[in-house]
Amino acid sequence: MTPLTATETLPTADFFDYESQLSAAEQRKLRELREFLAAEIAPYAGEWWNKAEFPAHILPKLAALELSTPAQRGYSHLFAGLVIAEMTRVDTSIATFFLVHHDLFVEALYEFGSQDQRDRLLDDASSLRTTGAFALTEPDHGSDVAGGMETAARLVPGGADDGGDCWVLNGAKRWIGNGTFCDYMLVWARDEADGAIRGFIVDARLPGVSRTRIENKIALRTVQNADIRFDNVRIPEADRLAGINGFEDTNALLRGSRIMVAWQAVGQQLAAFDVARQYAVERSQFGRPLAKFQLIQQQLVSMLGNAVASAGMMVRIAQLQDQGAADMARVALAKSYTSARMRETVAMGRSILGGNGIVTDYRMAKIFADAEAIYTYEGSYEINTLIVGRAVTGVSAIV
């Protein structure tokens, strides 16, 4: 849908002006990101989505923004969240690529990599000369992967003549974003010797690694999700992620990525509000703009309220991150709440567009469909709800 001008002088979806809490430098950087998204992503995102194609050609331009792991660059947690929200506002798939690569793969190198691993991999990964994936979920294990993980790693002692110790990896992973084309993947496997969870930096070109794209998705079609199999893949000890000694060590990574997905739920609502309001102001029925109908105004205000409330919760999460107090229960509440409000918001937006809301020409159909992935990944709504329930009752309903 061609951008309209009728809404340019109206208040933005940031109705409570949360962005004013950013520093002047961060506000300038956010404007730079918006300009990039408007020029390089927005005009083409629908076509990429329809064709289920990933636009690898934009990666050098995306890297030039120098936004990889913003907190590692000295930006605030609020800015880092708003980066993901703004990307999602324009294209959820590009935002998902960004957070998988930077907030999971690159962040893992920062947090858990050895000095040698950081020296070898960080520069290229941060500048998107190489791309990474995060291989945790399995065909039969999603929410229960911590206890049910079947991918196995066996340590094979070696000598100086054959390169030293190595690990042999066998198993399968599913729903791995960037999995079809990534250069490296961070793979989680159970140590056959003691049952502990280990992390491995796996070169995707190694013998025994096979990758198959998951087809027929109704959401995040631009993201290249893969089924991955490991058949006696040999990994040098030097590529075992040095700082990981058990699944609990991953909590910081998973908590951080869950926060970013909650920010995606905010961005998805901003997108839905933008498109729905624009349509309501321009579209006429019964001789007057849709925006003059009371029910349409009620829906738009409800959408805005959901978006503002969700953003406010995430602003507070960013403050808690600054204080080191964003524990998993608080993050789980944020993810479950924002994704539930998102589902309501995109449904109202789709309704406002009527029949035009089910074709991607008008953006809303894509926004509506992509919301379903956000609702489920990085902890489904139900699992995050039960995490909070355990925290507030002291009783677990999961196991």
CA distance 153 to 233: 9
According to DSSP, the residues that pair with 141 across neighbouring strands are: 138
CA distance 321 to 318: 5
**Residue 175 CB-density burial (10 A; 0-12 exposed, 13-18 middle, 19+ buried):** buried
CA distance 229 to 208: 8
Q: Which long-range contacts does 24-30 make (Cβ < 8 Å, 24+ apart)? A: 26/75, 26/76, 26/78, 26/79, 29/67, 29/75, 29/79, 30/79, 30/82, 30/83, 30/86
Site of tokens 């049952």: 195
215 within 8 A of 248, measured Cβ to Cβ:
no
Site of tokens 């690569």: 101
Pure H helices in the chain: 24-36, 45-51, 59-64, 77-90, 92-98, 107-112, 115-126, 145-148, 251-282, 294-323, 328-352, 364-376, 381-393
Domains (range + CATH), the chain:
18-126 (1.10.540.10), 132-246 (2.40.110.10), 249-393 (1.20.140.10)
Residues 6+ apart with CB under 8 A from 349: 272, 273, 275, 276, 303, 357, 364, 367, 368
Per-residue pLDDT of the chain (399 residues; tens, 9 = 90+): 444 455 667 888 899 999 999 999 999 999 999 999 999 999 999 999 999 999 999 999 999 999 999 989 999 999 999 999 999 999 999 999 999 999 999 999 999 999 999 999 999 999 999 999 999 999 999 888 888 999 999 999 975 556 689 999 999 999 999 999 999 999 999 999 999 999 999 999 999 999 999 999 999 999 999 999 999 999 999 999 989 888 888 887 889 999 999 999 999 999 999 999 999 999 999 999 999 999 999 999 999 999 999 999 999 999 999 999 999 999 999 999 999 999 999 999 999 999 999 999 999 999 999 999 999 998 899 999 999 999 999 999 987
Residues 6+ apart with CB under 8 A from 381: 336, 339, 340, 375
User: In degrees, to the nearest 5, what angle opens at C-alpha 243 toward C-alphas 239 and 249?
Assistant: 125
Question: pTM of the predicted model, to two decimals?
Answer: 0.94
Reduced to 3 states (helix: H, G, I; strand: E, B; else coil), residue 173 is: strand
200 within 8 A of 241, measured Cβ to Cβ:
yes
- For the chain, helix, strand, coil in percent to 5 are 55, 15, 30
The total number of residues written for the chain in this structure:
399
CA distance 398 to 390: 9
